[in-house]
Amino acid sequence: MSWFKKIHILGNGPSIKDFPLDIDGIRIGTNFSDAKLKPIHTFINDGKPLDMILSGEVSLEYPIVISTRAVEKAQLYEKKPKYDNTVIKFIVDFIKYDHLHERLGLNSAQMATVYGIKQFLPKEVHIWGCDSLWSDDISSSTDTYIPSKGCNSSINELWRNQWDYLISQNPERTFFIHGKGAPLLQSQSNVRW
């Protein structure tokens, strides 16, 4: 493990366009992050994006970190694993907070955040492109590759509750939410926007 002052979690929401490319810190993408954002890896939490990478349908310029959930849901993983450091950097355990939801676990940005905290031990966690933190907008650049099934407001509420819990479990870190308004989260002393 390494210590870095800050990590940047690069979500796929419309506000990711506001990410300044000249900023310092470790960058961790989610799903099909734009290579211009220069992530050191991107976090894949679902089977369909992993299948698209393993089949060669989507090519990424950086390694991926995947969850055990992505492995379980992927159709191609057992048939065509490309397990080397140029494609799959790490496989990490999928996280689910049972007290918040018995079935649904963390989304890709939340998983990337947990991974980044464990891997790099940052003092600051900057969250970009996670528009559902301050709005009901769950549109994503990933929708270009995998059409969204749509969503109801209950998923936003679950995601915000998961963010609240994740942040509360890391009081020694400051979380900076970069977006168009105040995050719709519980008030916590280690959250800035």
pLDDT in tens, 143-153: 565 666 655 55
Asked if pLDDT for residue 83 goes beyond 50, the answer is no
CA dist., res. 53 & res. 75, Å (int): 12
Indicate if the alpha-carbon torsion angle 168, 170, 172, 175 is positive or negative.
negative
Q: Does 103 have pLDDT greater than 90?
A: no
As a whole number, mean pLDDT of residues 52-57 equals 82
d(CA 125, CA 116): 9
Written as one letter, the residue type at 108 is: S
pLDDT of residue 8: 98
Q: Is residue 1 part of a domain?
A: no
Which domain does 82 fall in, by range? 6-192
Strands (E), the chain: 6-10, 26-30, 41-44, 64-67, 88-92, 124-128, 174-177, 191-192
Cβ burial 123-138 (10 Å sphere, 16+ → b, else e): ebbbbbbbbbbbbeeb
More confident: 42 or 136: 42
pLDDT at 89: 83
Q: What is the mean pLDDT of residues 98-127?
A: 93
Residue 84 clears pLDDT 60, i.e. is over it: no
In a domain, 81, yes or no: yes
Q: In percent, how much of the chain has pLDDT > 90?
A: 50
Name which residue leads in pLDDT, 78 or 22: 22
Q: What's the number of domains the chain is made of?
A: 1
Amino acid 85: pLDDT: 40
**Is 37 within a domain?**
yes
pLDDT digits (tens, 9 = 90+) for 2-29: 557 999 999 999 999 999 999 999 999 9
CA dihedral sign, ordered 136, 58, 45, 118: negative
pLDDT of 141 above 80: no
The 10s digit of each residue's pLDDT in 166-187 is 999 999 999 999 988 888 888 8
The answer to whether residue 60 scores a pLDDT higher than 90 is no
Name the pTM for this structure. 0.88
Residue 26, strand partner residues: 7
129: enclosing H helix or E strand: none
45, burial (CB in 10 Å: exposed 0-12, middle 13-18, buried 19+): buried
Residue 86 lies in a domain: yes
